[in-house]
Chain A
Amino acid sequence: MKLSRIWPGLVVLALLLAGLEAAVNAGLIRRALMPAPSAIAPVLWGLLESGEVLEPLFATLRLVFAGFAIGSVLGIAVGLAMGWFPAAFRLLEPLVELLRPIPKAALVPALMLFLGIGETMKITSVSLAVLFPVLVNTLQGVRGVDRVMLDAARTHGWGPAHTLLHLVLPAALPFILAGMRISLGLALVLAVLAEMLTGQGGLGFLILDMQRSFLIRQMYAWLVILAVVGLALNGLFLFVERRALHWQPALRP
């Protein structure tokens, strides 16, 4: 995005912040609920400067990345198997359809009883949330591979392993990546939720804890940090996706 295209939006954002500042100072909004942005900024800066931000930030990111990696690898592997081998599809399809509609957020309490409130439980719940969108998209991608291309590969004497690696996987990649992008957002949601429900760990826990302790400025500061994390993760993935799919004409700007 060009700067010339987004500057009107940035001006509106700046105006909104200024308006909020004025409204709080004029007493239109209760300071106890929404401190002025100028009061939140020093707290935010303090967290960043003292390095206090690092530990919770890394705790949350570790959950997100570990769960995302496990869920994605499993989802892609099972999805490829189900798409490629009809026997695997027949074997696993009813199970997947049964487990898929279970809201993964509602599983967190069950997992807490089972696995405690440590990292294992959190990473498990994140990977469960990631698994199914990736699996379903991979399956869809594999099934959408052009039959003519598959025939061509066979004509050229490609073995199944070679075909899977050099034809099916690249052809399914746009679908797989789309599933992974959806899952990345879900991973962050589940990580934050698991931290809130277990009452320990990273950014999610801190935001809830600050609210309950009535440290409102700190709460907003941590919320800003979390929003930046969400924005950065999404941006990072879009960048990776564009690099990985540069050969796809439709995605070229």
Chain B
Amino acid sequence: MRLSARPSSGVVLVACLLLLWEVSARLDWMHTPNWPPLTDVLVALAHDTLTGELPLLVGGTLWRMAAGLAAGGAAGVVVGMLFATLPMTARLFGPMVELVRPIPIPAVIPPLVLFLGLDNTMKVTVVALTVFFPVLTNTMQGVAAVEADTLAMGRTFGIGPLRRALRITLPAVLPYILAGFRVSLALALVVAVVAEMIAGEQGIGHYLVMMQFAGRAPEIYATVLVLAVLGYGLNRAFLVMEHRTIHWWFAMGRQADG
């Protein structure tokens, strides 16, 4: 985007909409207590942040998200590698994976509650299950994209299988795995929040539902705002990390979407 001295029409539109939000809420055009002014939302956000309530809740949610991301991602990479290198395993277990994949994730929470209870274990598992599928798919694509010539050349030069896997296959697959993780990252945050909304008494998701029961609209919008910023920030941070880790991939003129 080009920088110019005059704000673009889009920025003006956003500013007008925010102003409309504030004015419509202050003058109660909507005839509802559930349409709080933007300034009230920001005050609620500042208040809950300063009391430490929000950071604590967000921290818990982020921790569960990260644990699920790590567990599900690792499982996805391992199974993806297995499926791609030993086609027989894909034929044996592929249909099972394809049967579980289309189940909408909130629906697996009730049975998981039975086995794992309401606390961390259940929520981390739900996140891991969500993350597993995109990472699995991307890993398999990545292994399929490893150039056979490169591997053959490695063999010709007498490089052992372990070193071939570490020095040739892994770097070639890494961009795909990272792309899978990036897709999963956004899902993981949302799913962690969803799991907290449906079951248990932890984290930002539960807070959201409690505020809804209490009819405290400013807190709800403040929480939504925090989650949006968090999602955006995590994605940005991951992109930076991705560019650092696989700079050579981008140097070859490839796109982030692998």
Contacts and interface: CB of A to CB of B under 8 A. Distances in A.
Interface of A: 5-6, 8-10, 12-13, 16, 33-34, 87, 90-95, 98, 101-103, 105-110, 112-114, 185, 188-189, 191-193, 196-197, 203-204, 207-208, 210-211, 216, 219-220, 223, 226-227, 230-231, 233-234
A113 B215 contact: yes
Contacts of A112: 212
Contacts of A226: 103-104, 107
Nearest to A129: B190
Contact of B232 (A101, A188, A197, A211): A101
B235 A101 contact: yes
Contacts of B232: 101
B190 A105 contact: yes
Contact of B106 (A6, A103, A204, A219): A204
A223 B107 contact: yes
Q: Is the interface of A mostly helix, strand, loop or mixed?
A: helix
6 contacts: A8-B91, A94-B14, A106-B205, A109-B212, A112-B212, A114-B35
A103 B220 CA distance: 13
Contacts of B93: 9, 12
Contact of B110 (A101, A197, A208): A208
Interface of B: 8-11, 13-14, 17, 32, 34-35, 88, 91-96, 99-100, 102-111, 113-115, 189-190, 193-194, 197-198, 205, 208-209, 211-212, 215, 217, 220-221, 223-224, 227-229, 231-232, 235
A90 B208 contact: no
A169 to B, nearest CB: 23
B250 to A, nearest CB: 19
Contacts of B111: 211, 219-220, 223
Given A8-B91, A106-B224, A204 B107 contact: yes
Nearest to A110: B220
B137 to A, nearest CB: 13
Query: Would you list the 6 A-B pairs with minimal beta carbon distance, nearest first?
Result: A9-B95, A230-B102, A211-B110, A109-B212, A94-B10, A113-B34
A85 B130 CA distance: 38
A121 B198 CA distance: 18
A88 to B, nearest CB: 10
Nearest to A188: B104
Interface centre among B9, B35, B93, B100, by most A CB within 10 Å? B9
A34 B32 CA distance: 46
Contacts of B197: 105, 108-109, 193, 197
Given A33-B114, A94-B11, A189 B106 contact: yes
B191 to A, nearest CB: 8
B96 A12 contact: yes
Given A109-B208, A110-B224, A227-B103, A9 B91 contact: yes
B103 A95 contact: no
Given A34-B115, A105-B190, A220-B111, 14 more contacts: A12-B95, A33-B115, A103-B224, A103-B227, A103-B231, A110-B220, A112-B212, A113-B212, A185-B102, A192-B107, A193-B197, A207-B107, A227-B100, A227-B107
